[in-house]
Structure 1
Amino acid sequence: MILTVTPNPALDCTWHVAALTPGDSHRVGAGAERAGGKGINVARVLHATGTDTLALATAGGATGDALALDLRAAGLAHRLVPVAASTRRSIAVVDDGRGEATLLNERGAALSPDEVTALLHTARTLAAGAAAVVLSGSLPAGIRSEDVGLLAADLVATGTIVIADVTGPALMAAAEAGAHVVKPNAAELHETTGCADVLTGARMLLERGAGLVIVSLGADGMLLVGRTAPDRPLRARLRRTLHGNPTGAGDAAVAAVAGPRGQPRPAPAPTAHPRGGAG
């Protein structure tokens, strides 16, 4: 089972317009709502590919109710820690003519100390039955980067695979805790390490303790740098540029990394024994 942890989930709200004109009024059809946030997006991809997964997140207010309703409708196994503040929203306006999306992401309300304790305790409890844990997304106020580092270190110590797709000091804390995989995008890597050069920043995370660094580069594809061969990075990109709403693209990459950990291992082939007789 793959456990995904999303401390700051969102109710994703999307509207389509024929053409987006800043400063103008637009008449639109009914928008779409669905449960979002990086870890939930990862769990959704894993679920769609038949991987046993469990999504852990917080939820509060009417938007939290809507998030829970969508998770149930999708048949996605989940555990929601109740919080007092309403779950944040992420607004996407898709310009169908240009194939581009404009995103407005609320920051999310702060969690109380009791709510933080409940979330971290639940994560540790559920992780006991997980082959891998994915720590994803932004952190609401109240959760410290040190909390992420301690959680990652505890899981690594038990032999659980840890994949971290968090930002800023939390990403560095996860790397220093020995996270097996960290996956920032180029902007997040720069924010975390201060290095303008992507490869230099990736190597810094390896030096701090990460096992593997995967950097998403938008239209330029992805960069993979491993501890065993930091001077021989792997690069991959599509042959053409895709246009549209990029929400969830990086999360799908995380799901691709985590997915094999949730698949049952094939039974070993039976050992052939030569037939023998009494001599």
Structure 2
Amino acid sequence: MILTVTPNPALDLTWHVDQLRIGDTHRADAGAVRAGGKGLNVARVAHAEGAVVRAITTAGGRSGEEFAEELGRSGVPHSLVRVAQDTRRSIAIVDEALGDTTIVNERGLNPSDQEWADLLAAVVDALPSARVLVISGSLPPGAPDGFLPLLIAVAKDAGVPVIVDTSGPALLRAAAAGASVLKPNRAELAEATGITDPVDGARALLARGAELVLLSLGAAGMLAVTASELVHARLDEPLAGNPTGAGDAAVAACAVLYAEGERDPELILRRAAAWSAAAVLMPLAGDISPQWPTLAAQLRVSRPDPDSVRKDLS
């Protein structure tokens, strides 16, 4: 089973407009509403692709009721920890003319100490059935610094590998706690480590304790970096669409393979890059296009030296 934890979920609202003009009034059809947050997107993708999953997250307030209702309709197996604060909202506005997406994320509100303890207890109860634990997304402002390392430690003690997709100081804490896989994008990596070079930044996370870094590079593809290997995958041409769930699809691909016992970084990168690209083709985060095998076949995969990566990305 793939167990996902989303510490800061969101009620995702998505609107499509003909063209986004700053300061103007727009008309749109009724927007899509979905229970979201990065860990839930991971669970949706993995579940749709036939994996056994359980998503653990929180829900609170009026927005949390709508969140819980939609998640129930989705069919994704899940456990909800009830909290007092309202579940935050995330707004995505898709510009049809440009193929770009503008996103506004509410920061979220910090659960109480007891609610954090309830979330941890839910994870501990589910761990005996898990083959991999995915901790994905931001932490709300004021979240205890020790929560993420504690989750990682509990999973490691149970012999369960951990994949983490987060940002800021939490990314560094996840590396130091010994997360098996980290999945930042290039901006998140530079912000967390203070290192602008992507290869050196990834290696800084490995030096702290991670085993594999999957680094999203946007249109330039994705890198897999271990202590001994550097692998790059990309498509010849970037895809137009909604990129908001691309990183989550990559994490889902990694989680599915990890749950099957796969550890080869090139195989993981190929699947992650293909699912990430397939997510861009879908209107909502948490879905991937059935064209992903075709995209996988179109990937250019190489084992470049670090200097060529730096040159290509400069």
Q: Confirm or deny a common fold (TM above 0.5).
A: yes
Give, in angstroms, the shift of residue 142 of structure 1: 3.9
Gapped regions of structure 1 (runs ≥ 5): 266-279
The answer to whether 1:247 aligns with 2:263 is: no
Letter paired with 1:38: K
Q: Give, as a single letter, the amino acid of the residue that structure 2 aligns with 1:176.
A: A
Secondary structure in structure 2 of the residue aligned to 1:248: helix
**What residue in structure 1 maps to residue 180 of structure 2?**
180
Q: Per-residue deviation at 1:239?
A: 1.4
Alignment RMSD: 1.4
Amino acid in the other structure paired with 2:44 = R
Q: Secondary structure at the match of 1:128?
A: helix
Q: Does structure 2 retain, via aligned residues, the 8 Å contact 1:16–1:29? A: yes
Larger Rg: 1
Question: 1:122-144 CA distances to partner (integer Å, 9 max, x unpaired)?
Answer: 11221222010000000013422
SS in structure 2 at match of 1:223: strand
- Contact 2:127–2:158 (CA<8 Å) still a contact in 1? no
Q: Give me the TM-score of the superposition, normalised by structure 1.
A: 0.91
Query: Hey, what does 1:275 align to over in structure 2?
Result: none
CA–CA distance in structure 2, aligned partners of residues 99 and 261 of structure 1: 33
Counterpart-to-counterpart distance in 1, 2:204 and 2:242:
31
**Residues 264 and 219 of structure 1: is their aligned pair in 2 closer, same or farther, counting only changes over 3 Å?**
closer
Partner of 2:28 in structure 1?
28
Q: CA deviation at 1:194?
A: 0.8
Once residues 225 and 122 of structure 1 are traced to their aligned partners in structure 2, the CA distance between those partners, rounded to angstroms, is 32
For residues 219 and 258 of structure 2, the distance between their equivalents in structure 1, rounded to whole angstroms, comes to 28
Contact 1:13 1:92 in 2 (8 A): yes
Contact kept, 8 Å, 2:133 with 2:162, in 1: the verdict is yes
Quote the residue 1:157 is aligned against. 157
1:145 counterpart SS class: coil
Q: Equivalent residue for 1:86? A: 86
2:64 equivalent in structure 1:
64
Aligned pairs (5 A) from 1:137-216: 137-216=137-216
Aligned to 2:281: none
SS in 2 for 1:90: strand
Which string of whole-angstrom CA distances, capped at 9 and with x for unpartnered residues, describes residues 188-239 of structure 1? 1112111011111100111111011111011111111012x0xx41111111
Contact 1:35 1:67 in 2 (8 A): yes
Matched residue type, 1:78: H
- Counterpart code for 1:95: D
Percent identity, aligned pairs only, is 54
- Bigger fraction of residues in helix: 2
What corresponds to 2:290 in structure 1?
A: none
The farther-off stretch of 168-177 and 50-59 is 168-177
| Kept after mapping to 2: 8 A contact 1:144/1:170 | no
Larger mean CA deviation between 150-159 and 131-140 belongs to: 150-159
Equivalent AA in structure 1 for residue 217 of structure 2: L
The alignment partner of 2:85 has SS state of coil
8 Å contact from structure 2 (residues 19, 96) kept in 1: yes
Write the distance in 1 (CA, Å) between the matches of 2:258 and 2:85: 34
Question: How far did residue 62 of structure 1 move?
Answer: 1.8
Partner of 2:173, secondary structure, is helix
How many residues end up aligned between the 2 structures? 262
Rounded Cα–Cα distance in structure 1 between residues aligned with 2:72 and 2:179: 31
Instruction: Give the superposition deviation at 1:179.
Output: 1.0
* Displacement of 1:264: 9.2
Secondary structure of the equivalent of 2:129? coil
Distance 1:167 1:238 in 2: 26
Task: Specify the SS of the correspondent of 1:14.
Answer: strand
Aligned partners of 1:158, 1:11: CA distance in 2, in Å? 32
Separation in 2, partners of 1:155, 1:66: 31
Is residue 234 from structure 1 mapped to residue 246 from structure 2 by the alignment?
no
Q: Distance in 1 between matches of 2:259 and 2:69?
A: 25
Aligned to 2:116: 116
Q: CA deviation at 1:27?
A: 1.5
1:45 and 2:58 aligned: no
How far did residue 243 of structure 1 move? 1.9
Indicate whether 1:258 and 2:255 are aligned: yes
Counterpart AA for 1:247: T
In 2: Cα distance, 1:141 partner to 1:80 partner: 20
| Cα separation, 2, equivalents of 1:125 and 1:171 | 25
Question: Where does structure 1 differ by over 4 angstroms across 4 or more consecutive aligned residues?
Answer: none
1:6 aligns to 2:3 (yes or no): no
Q: Is the 8 A contact 1:172 1:205 kept in 2?
A: yes
- Structure 2 CA distance for aligned equivalents of residues 169 and 119 of structure 1: 21
Do 2:107 and 2:141's aligned partners in 1 also have CA atoms closer than 8 Å? Answer: no
**1:177 Cα deviation from its structure 2 partner:** 1.4
